[in-house]
Amino acid sequence: VGTNLKKLAQELNLSIATISRALQDSHEVSSGTKEKVWALAQKLNYEPNPYASSLRRQKSKTIAVIIPEIANNFFTLAINGIDEIAQKKGYHVLIYFTHDNLEKEISIIKHLQNGRVDGILMSISSETDCYDHLVELNNKKVPIVFFDRVCGEIEDVATVTTDDYESAYKATEHLIQSGCKRISYLQISKNLSIGKKRMHGYLNALKDYGMDFNEDLVVYGSQNDNDNYSKIKSILDKENRPDGIFASVESLAIITYYACIDLGLSIPKQVKIISFSNLATAPLLSTSLTTITQPAFEIGKEAAYLLFQKLKRNNAKFNNYQFNNNIELHSTLNIRDSTKASS
Amino acid sequence: VGTNLKKLAQELNLSIATISRALQDSHEVSSGTKEKVWALAQKLNYEPNPYASSLRRQKSKTIAVIIPEIANNFFTLAINGIDEIAQKKGYHVLIYFTHDNLEKEISIIKHLQNGRVDGILMSISSETDCYDHLVELNNKKVPIVFFDRVCGEIEDVATVTTDDYESAYKATEHLIQSGCKRISYLQISKNLSIGKKRMHGYLNALKDYGMDFNEDLVVYGSQNDNDNYSKIKSILDKENRPDGIFASVESLAIITYYACIDLGLSIPKQVKIISFSNLATAPLLSTSLTTITQPAFEIGKEAAYLLFQKLKRNNAKFNNYQFNNNIELHSTLNIRDSTKASS
């Protein structure tokens, strides 16, 4: 018997057996008593014996990470952050890719509903525009934390994000202050809440600096790099081409570099570029890339922390106590040569 | 009843029930009959009904991929290749990281032995110098295919690799032909068979061109980037520093770039660099990087193909027929500015 359990029993003047049953949500204990036990347990920060609890409930000791794709430095760093925490807790990490495909995402969620994993960390696919599968998962009380690409449609859900609106505002402002008059915004999807927030930051910066919004300067990419290349090259090949590019995704910035080389456009003289990016080689590029860098590793760590908090409380049947945090970490602007003002 | 099953029954003059039991390795059928059924089934390319077979055996419809780390473009591309095949077959892919740690690798293997997944694709950790856990897994008949970092200690195992020896020989030869006199070799581990093969290619190229081998020019890195930076900076900071660097891992080449910048050494004038690498930005670097590029996506695809072949045969109990291929795909030398001969 752990000392904590004993302490709860003493404080409430109940038997240890009753406390234990109450914590396990047993029908043998009245709901009034359970409420009292849970409230005090939470107040005293009661720690259930994790090993006993794991045996009793046959936990899988496994968490799932659902991400759109792997060839993206943000996600690889975030996974490293998640994995660092999971290792400390003795959990395995399973990674599932949606390939930014809604059908695939739904199939993964269905696959995970029946206790295959203890909890889920998720960044939703860019195609996801209906959320029934996520609502269902949430109703089934599968612990879940969203990170980066969160689902705005479910209430009371834990999220870890970055300051997307402010960062996008700053990025656009930086291009304006570097002398850009026609700023293009490149993003992957119209659906994602982060896409909307970044778009919002871009639009408000334009407005605040008295610049007109031109819909032709917004490019929506896809999962196909060849298509993205064609689209980006096409806007850069026009006479009234943009003189500034703000990419909300790293891969679109790299494609912009290749398009500029192929069109003989000089960076930053003719085209300035800034991108959300966690590219390790950003400072080493022929023209070093100015980036908005998300704290990807920390986002992964925070999301995993939140999930393990949920798991701990679920073990102790604290479901009725809400603790869904929404954590926002700051991104940093790293100014390099790709946005240098012409002298 | 599938026509194939009927055909087998007709050819062998046995009942369909007997054929079915034989294919399921039932003890009710004599081993002589089973051998006959299996032989003909293989000859006629018998395809069991995958859905029925999955139900009967409660397959997980899941394969595991065990890799050392994720922040490596080779592995991200290989995973994309694996995933493409797995998706077509309707399988989920679970990814496990060993972090190049033997203990972690053993714990993952133990975790996977009891039917959690139908098969395993694996690249071993750089720390792995004993293979008991892999031998045990192989003895338990868990279908496994090794890719890239293969286990040379187990016989009769399927592998997909690249021409490591030849590529390393070519890389070293290219540096010599570009005028290098003191060529350093950077690698992660002494244990890995790919490390040994690449080292061998490096040594033989030196020998064939009449150059002495100097042990001080070999750097063994670790999982710690700061340590790797110190080691690489230290050899570049000596008076008799190398004039050529051959990195067997992409991350060590990137660190070399940073070390050269910090020491004020010009690439390729003072130091030429070539690396095994799948870096998307290699052509965009301030000095574009000459690479040995592994067909990472194809390696992943081939490995997954092999595994699904194994799964198919295992379903039909063809275990006694050996089909463990060892596939070798070619890497390509992409010459860029980082190895340009001084004029």
Angle between helices B3-12 and B16-23 (to 10 degrees): 100
Share of chain B above pLDDT 70, in %: 91
Q: What is the DSSP string of B184-225?
A: EEEES-SS-HHHHHHHHHHHHHHHHTT----GGGEEE--S-H
pLDDT score of B45: 67
Task: Say which of A70, A83, A254 has its CB closest to residue B281.
Answer: A254
Q: Is B76 exposed, middle or buried (0-12, 13-18, 19+ CB in 10 A)?
A: buried
Closest residue of chain A to B69, computed from CA coordinates: A80
Any idea which of A158-167, A172-181, A250-259, B14-23 has the lowest mean pLDDT?
A: B14-23
Q: Which of B67, B75, B85, B94 to mutate to test the interface with A (most CBs of A within 10 A)?
A: B94
Contact of B331 with B294, CB cutoff 8 Å = yes
Kindly list the residues from chain A whose CB atom is less than 8 angstroms away from the CB atom of residue B258.
284
Query: Which alpha helices (DSSP H) does B44-101 contain, by range?
Result: 50-57, 73-89
Among residues B144, B106, B153, B143, the alpha carbon closest in space to that of B125 is found at B106
Give the neighbor-by-neighbor strand order of the sheet with A144-147: A92-97, A62-67, A119-122, A144-147, A158-162, A326-329
Task: Say which of B96, B99, B254 has its CB closest to residue A280.
Answer: B254
pLDDT score of B248: 94
pLDDT score of A230: 97
Q: Which of A65, A70, A255 to mutate to test the interface with B (most CBs of B within 10 A)?
A: A70
Beta strands in A112-225 (DSSP E): 119-122, 144-147, 158-162, 183-187, 218-220
Any idea which of A312-321, A332-341, B18-27 has the lowest mean pLDDT?
A: A312-321
- CB contact set of B307 (below 8 Å; sequence gap of 6+): B63, B119, B120, B121, B143, B144, B145, B158
Contact of A176 with A183, CB cutoff 8 Å = yes
Q: Please, which pLDDT band fits residue B286 given cuts at 50, 70 and 90?
A: very high
Instruction: Decide: helix, strand or coil at residue B336.
Output: coil
pLDDT score of B119: 93
Alpha-carbon torsion angle A306, A307, A311, A312, nearest 10: -30
Query: Among positive and negative, which fits the CA dihedral A302, A82, A188, A193?
Result: negative
pLDDT score of B50: 40
Among residues A206, A164, A10, the alpha carbon closest in space to that of A74 is found at A164
> What's the ipTM?
0.76
Contact of A84 with A307, CB cutoff 8 Å = no
Any idea which of A104-118, B285-299, B308-322 has the lowest mean pLDDT?
A: B308-322
Instruction: Decide: helix, strand or coil at residue B55.
Output: helix
Closest residue of chain A to B256, computed from CA coordinates: A284
Neighbours of B15 (CB within 10 A): 10
Q: In which residue are the tokens 């080689």 written?
A: A281
Per-residue pLDDT tens digits for B29-77: 888 888 888 788 877 766 554 434 433 444 678 899 999 988 788 999 9
- CB contact set of B57 (below 8 Å; sequence gap of 6+): B315
d(CA A2, CA A23): 13
Please, what is the end-to-end C-alpha distance for chain A in angstroms? 74
For chain B, give the mean pLDDT.
87
Closest residue of chain B to A62, computed from CA coordinates: B111
Per-residue pLDDT tens digits for A218-234: 999 988 899 999 999 99
d(CA A266, CA A320): 59
**Stretch A123-147: mean pLDDT, rounded?**
86
Per-residue pLDDT tens digits for B75-117: 999 999 999 999 889 888 888 888 888 888 998 898 887 777 8
Alpha carbon of A284: minimum distance to chain B alpha carbons (Å): 5
Question: Given a cut of 70, is residue A238 above it in pLDDT?
Answer: yes
What are the structure tokens assigned to A196, written together?
A: 């909307």
pTM of the model as a whole = 0.79
Q: Give bridge partners of residue A274 from the DSSP assignment.
A: A246, A290
Per-residue pLDDT tens digits for B141-162: 889 999 999 987 777 788 999 9
For chain A, give the mean pLDDT.
87
Residues present in chain A in total:
343
Kindly list the residues from chain A whose CB atom is less than 8 angstroms away from the CB atom of residue B79.
70
